[in-house]
Amino acid sequence: MNRDPSIMSAGSEEHPPLGGAVDGEHHEVDSAAAAHDRAFDHTPESALKVHEAAAANRARFHLFANAPEDIQTRLAQSRKAMKLVFRNLHYQVPITLPPESTKTFVDRYIVEPLRSLLPEGLSQRTYGWVELLHGVSGVVRPGEFCAILGGSGAGKTTLLNAIAGRSMLPPSEGSVTFNGRTRTHATRRLIGYVMQDDVFLSNLTVEQTLRFTASIRLPRTMTREEKRRRVDEVLHSLNLDKARNTIIGDQQFNKGISGGERKRANIAETLLTNPSLLLLDEPTSGLDSTTALSVVRLLKDLALSEGRTVVATVHQPSSVMWSEFDKVLLLADGSTVYFGPASEATAYFERQGFRLPYGYNPADYLLDLLVSGLESGGRMTEERWRSVPERVRREARRMFGKGGASGSLDVSDEDDEKSASVYSELTASMVLRAAWCLNEAEMMSAERAAYESRAREYSTIARAAAASNRDRARAAVAAELSDGGTFVERHGAEKDGDDDEDEVGEQYTEHKYAVSWYEQFRALALRAILQSGSSFFTWVTLSQAIAVSLLALFVWVGSPDDESGIYPRLGLVFFTGIFWSFTVLYSSITSFPMERAVLNKDRSAGSYMLSAYFLAKTSIESPMQLVYPYMFTLIVYFSANLKRTASAFFLFAVLLSMQVMVAQSLGYWLSSMVMDFAQLAVMAALWMVGTILVAGFFIPISKMHVWFRWIRYVSFVYYGYNGFIINEFQDSTYACEDNGAGGGGVQSKSYPSCAESPPQPVTSQEIFRAYNVDTTFGIGGCIGMLIMFMVVMRIFAYLSLKYVQGVRK
């Protein structure tokens, strides 16, 4: 049982850790398990040293080290060790663009531009399918860190998304199981997915982001204080204490934390939920070598010290990173070229005729081989071709043939001259794919046999340790590592596939979501206040509101109370409704597109219901959007000498609120269908211009063509404008001017009262007739129609967000 300590410290497959399931008592498999059998291979003194080293390793990084025992127990009961198995995965995506050769003039310049204005889910057409993954298989057990490597376009992220269940379409063939079962709502919350892009809401601080995640994704059995302490523990463990009160920012205009801190915050957000399976998409991208190595070692510690299953795609790892991997999965053009222990990868490739040059980084050399271009380091040379085993050469010729056509060449023995004509058309990745097809069954069987051997070995050592109390050091190690029995001793050897019936101690099976709908709404509302408040209430928006209010004040201040003041009042109420409708509309059309990535991430993780998100966001943002219109009203209303009664002022505010809310609802609806801001701006402008033109201000309704007058009934501006006019002029009279001419563009003879002798005050009914105001609905009817528009548009926005954009789990 003598082993190379350097290999052990690297965490190689020669001695990988075994993950532990958790039951009612708090139990985790940590880094000391990796030293368990070595403790009994040496003297008691060396066993004591191993014990101390294991304890030091746990103290260096252990997310539960300082957490209270009650939190440890609750978190441990909410997850279990998870074995990931994916078999023969094939994944296809549709081709949505037609071949250029088939496009006509009409398709290119009429059909495609019109289709681009429609939501993506309604405008897509399929012109065929392309397969991105070709029968990829693998198994990753608790306590193992598996790295997925490959060149750009090899299928790394596609595979990770297929495993996590975040692909747009399900795999076309194959299966993914977790402890022998397919994905369910319960297992979804046991999976942590760290995206390549660090997706956050930019106005929240690191601590606020983590507290929100803790409030909606940690078990409902935990109190708020326990969740708060959990956040503090994770912040401390990932060295984010200094950045906890710094906003995350957007790395463009709103600077926040650094790139390394963003990456750690991304991992911290996932670790808060205590996932059994941790999936990471290129967690080292964009980081310097030192920070990238620290992230990789963090992932290794998570697998080693806590029995998690960790799978990550890694871009160009260094040799030091390579030594941290337990397993590697190498992909080329969506196909497997190797899966197995990282420590045995170079030996496998050497058996296939590709020897690692002395002093090379294994990752650099292997990735260079996998580049498919003939002009790159992956091209086949005569020396390489002759070193490839004959059966692999034959399989490569059968699979790819000359020029890459499958089966285009006879697979019988060929002379060297003919073989040379074949290898010049092949790449190293093609040969290695053919080699894996021949060796896959043997390699997977060897991996399984190695695991079973280690399982029996651990079980024997554990029983020996429990039975022996003659040596003090052995007793210390046994007490530390066998508290309640080891994983294998308590649960036996691992079962195959669907026979694995491990149960979760305290699962989420009773509830579809970790917390109730109300708790989701409450947390989402608080997040919306923090995120939207910082965007709405800035010096820029405040300055705009004050400037517009002062301009309106200077234009309409002291409007006369006689006939000449009628038209200015009409202009003021029309301007008020239109200006704030436009302002709120263009503010709200960016709402969903800016948060779409965060919403997709949270929903894919099963964090909350879409209804809770939608209602929380809209109910918080609606009052915020009314602050500046109300400020405008307070400044302008009395200065412009509008109707000075309490009821008129109140109804003015209500009508303005309703018109603004309808404009906001329209923005929600448009932004839920189309996520491109340029298209949204065009659609919003066209909609608003259309509603304004038929509202009755620029052209009286009676002057419109009869067949077109009906359009006013679908214009929310029409109801708002009519409501403002009725509210301002109803039951009011205005004296006629002495010169007999109306001061606002309507002559006195338009008002019969002014044509009398002596002139009589202009009544509200005369004003309504002069400006073609429809009083059928009345103020209450106008408010009711605006409420209907608001409700219907918000329902459409929710349905579009759910079905058109497909923001579903």
Greater model confidence, 182 or 498:
182
Assess whether pLDDT exceeds 70 at residue 218: yes
The mean per-residue pLDDT over the stretch 586-596 comes to: 88
3-class DSSP string for 230-292: HHHHHHHHCCCCCCCCCECCCCCCCCCCCHHHHHHHHHHHHHCCCCCEEEEECCCCCCCHHHH
Greater model confidence, 789 or 198:
789
One DSSP character per residue, 390-426 reads HHHHHHHHHHT-GGG-TT-S--S---HHHHHHHHTT-
The rounded distance, in Å, linking the Cα atoms of 160 and 280 is 8
* Predicted local distance difference test score (pLDDT) of residue 499: 40
pLDDT in tens, 462-510: 555 455 544 544 444 444 444 443 333 334 444 443 344 344 434 444 5
Query: What values do phi and psi take at 501, rounded to 5?
Result: -120, 30
Lowest mean pLDDT among 37-51, 141-155, 705-719: 37-51
- Percent of the chain, pLDDT > 90? 27
The rounded distance, in Å, linking the Cα atoms of 149 and 342 is 11
Sign of the dihedral through C-alpha 284, 605, 518, 537: positive
Greater model confidence, 151 or 24:
151
* Predicted local distance difference test score (pLDDT) of residue 734: 87
Most confident of 402-416, 633-647, 768-782: 633-647
Where in the chain are the domains?
84-190+275-379+427-435, 517-804
Q: How confident is the model at residue 610 (pLDDT cuts 50, 70, 90)?
A: very high
Lowest mean pLDDT among 175-179, 210-214, 498-502, 691-695: 498-502
* Residue 712 per-residue DSSP state: G
Lowest mean pLDDT among 229-243, 589-603, 661-675, 747-761: 747-761
Q: Pairing mode, if any, of strands 309-313 and 145-150?
A: parallel
Q: How confident is the model at residue 674 (pLDDT cuts 50, 70, 90)?
A: confident
* Predicted local distance difference test score (pLDDT) of residue 49: 45
Q: What angle do CA 259, 263, 264 make, to 5 degrees?
A: 115
* Predicted local distance difference test score (pLDDT) of residue 731: 85
**Nearest of 35, 142, 127 to residue 82 by alpha carbon:** 142
Q: Which two tokens stand for residue 131?
A: 């397969």
Mean of the per-residue pLDDT values for the chain? 77
Can you give the pTM of this predicted structure? 0.74
Q: State whether CATH 3.40.50.300 applies to domain 84-190+275-379+427-435.
A: yes
* Predicted local distance difference test score (pLDDT) of residue 205: 92
* Predicted local distance difference test score (pLDDT) of residue 59: 39
Among left, alpha and beta (phi > 0; psi -120 to 50; other), residue 155 is left
* Predicted local distance difference test score (pLDDT) of residue 675: 80
Q: How confident is the model at residue 99 (pLDDT cuts 50, 70, 90)?
A: low
**Nearest of 449, 453, 459, 392 to residue 422 by alpha carbon:** 392
Assess whether pLDDT exceeds 90 at residue 198: no
Lookup result for tokens 């651990």: 458
Q: How confident is the model at residue 769 (pLDDT cuts 50, 70, 90)?
A: confident
Give the CA dihedral 473, 474, 479, 482, nearest 10 degrees.
150
* Predicted local distance difference test score (pLDDT) of residue 286: 74
Helices (H), 468-538: 472-481, 487-491, 517-536
